[in-house]
Amino acid sequence: MTNSIRSPFVSHSKEFSLIHKYFNLPAIQRSNSPYTNLGIGDDCALLEIPNDTLIAISTDTLVEHRHFLVNTDPADIAYKAFMVSISDLAAMGATPRWVSLALTLPRLDDLWLNRFSLQLFKLLDAYDMQLIGGDTTKGPLAITLTVQGTLPKDTALKRSNAKDGDAIFLSGTIGNSALGLKMITDVLNDEINIHHVEQDLVSQRNLILDTFLPIHHIDIAKPQSEHVTASNLNKNHTNDLGWMINWLKGSYLYPKAQVELGLAIREIANSAIDISDGLASDLNHICASSGLSANVILDSLPISQTFKSVYEKRNINHTKEELFSLALSGGDDYQLCFTVDNGLKDDIVILGKQLNIPLTCIGNMKKSNVAEVCYFHDGDKYELILSGFDHFSS
């Protein structure tokens, strides 16, 4: 990969026209971006990093049919690819700085590229980031972003840094995205036609945006300006099933990386991870890396009233185990799970109020012969058969 965005679709001369038209917007690119010696347009980007600074690097790939449906708006694809990627930086406590883009397209489509690139640059502008390179090729639609961020040495929120006795905290609520995806694909209806689902989603987009974004974003391109707790969110919509379903769909389509929180806990927390594959799977990564077990109190899990209401109305004979299973293993939450010294629990609660982000203590890390997540209900160990998102499942 080079830091010029190259394309097999066009001649060499038109290649640079494509770059300048869609992916080299000088007004937004910030040539004076911190630490950037040379940005897009040469064989490599050049970065100058101070000796006391670390670079955090993460790569994520989103593939059509696997991570988003056919006919998904290009702006929405750019939005989700971006948020999914910088969520990893948030989990490490890094300040987002740069991104490289590898774009695989079945064909050249000016309208598609225009909507995708405009949304991407709006997000880069909102987060003060810079596109420094990438590549394009022909093939089934896929987007790969490599994001880089910076953080002071010895402050990274490594999974392996969890300590015995640490309190486990979780931001926001979990399960909304998983249930939202079920509402989009109507998995509960075995007769659904996936083509109709995809077409229906296109027609629903504006309604979902009108429902979800005024609460969670200034607009689709801007960072979240304020958070609304689940209790406040549901006061006026408890009985509006259509509104709640659209809100859940929005949770899946428009996740929000917890960058502000990651920076705020960098000097306080011992370890962290973002919830991409489901809390059950991702918290287990902290256990495996730190050699500890996690004791989670099921009744303390932050599950929104919207999730409970819609789930109960769509699953009349549901069990508590089934509800917990979806919330814990559905994935795509992009909340932060982190551990802190038990004596700092009150400080974390205060921090959550200052940031207007719900932060819930869900259990503790413990020494154990087996590094695993254990669940408790009414004081007793509770057996749940759970699995996180499997990237290679059918």
Cβ contact 365:165 at 8 Å: yes
Query: Is 277 one of the annotated binding-site residues?
Result: yes
Higher pLDDT, 309 or 39: 309
Give me the CATH number covering residue 279.
Answer: 3.90.650.10
Query: Is 159 one of the annotated binding-site residues?
Result: yes
- The pLDDT of residue 215: 45
Parallel, antiparallel, or unpaired for β 53-63 and 373-377? unpaired
Cβ contact 96:126 at 8 Å: no
| Residue after which a domain boundary falls, among 125, 152, 179 | 152
Query: Is 346 one of the annotated binding-site residues?
Result: no
Query: Is 58 one of the annotated binding-site residues?
Result: yes
Question: Is the same domain home to 144 and 178?
Answer: no
Higher pLDDT, 76 or 39: 76
Question: Is the same domain home to 327 and 183?
Answer: yes
Query: Is 324 one of the annotated binding-site residues?
Result: no
- φ/ψ of residue 327, rounded to 5: -65, -35
**Residues spanned by the domain of 110:** 14-152
- Asked whether residue 280 is assigned to any structural domain, the reply reads yes
Q: 63: pLDDT confidence band, cut at 50, 70 and 90?
A: very high
**pTM for the whole structure:** 0.85
Query: Is 52 one of the annotated binding-site residues?
Result: no
Mean pLDDT within 314-319: 74
Location of structure tokens 């880069």? 124
Q: Check whether 371 has a pLDDT greater than 70.
A: yes
- The pLDDT of residue 224: 37
Q: Check whether 237 has a pLDDT greater than 80.
A: no
Give me the CATH number covering residue 131.
Answer: 3.30.1330.10
Query: Is 276 one of the annotated binding-site residues?
Result: yes
- The pLDDT of residue 225: 32
- The pLDDT of residue 16: 57
Query: Alpha helices of the chain — where are they, by DSSP H?
Result: 12-22, 26-29, 74-92, 110-126, 176-185, 194-216, 230-233, 241-253, 259-265, 279-290, 305-314, 320-329, 345-355
- The pLDDT of residue 17: 63
Question: Is the same domain home to 39 and 83?
Answer: yes
Of 49, 69, 24, 81, residue with least CA distance to 257: 81
Q: How far apart are CA 105 and CA 361, in angstroms?
A: 43
252-278: per-residue pLDDT in tens?
A: 988 999 999 999 999 999 999 999 999
Tokens linked to 329: 């293993």
Query: Is 282 one of the annotated binding-site residues?
Result: no
Query: Is 12 one of the annotated binding-site residues?
Result: no
**Lowest-confidence segment of 22-36, 237-251, 329-343, 374-388 by average pLDDT:** 22-36
Q: 146: pLDDT confidence band, cut at 50, 70 and 90?
A: very high
Query: Is 389 one of the annotated binding-site residues?
Result: yes
Q: How far apart are CA 301 and CA 298, in angstroms?
A: 6
Q: How many structural domains is the chain composed of?
A: 2
- Asked whether residue 208 is assigned to any structural domain, the reply reads no
Query: Is 59 one of the annotated binding-site residues?
Result: yes
- The pLDDT of residue 344: 98
- Asked whether residue 122 is assigned to any structural domain, the reply reads yes
For the chain, give the percent of residues with pLDDT over 70. Answer: 76
Query: Is 67 one of the annotated binding-site residues?
Result: yes
Helix (H, G, I), strand (E, B), or coil: what is residue 2? strand
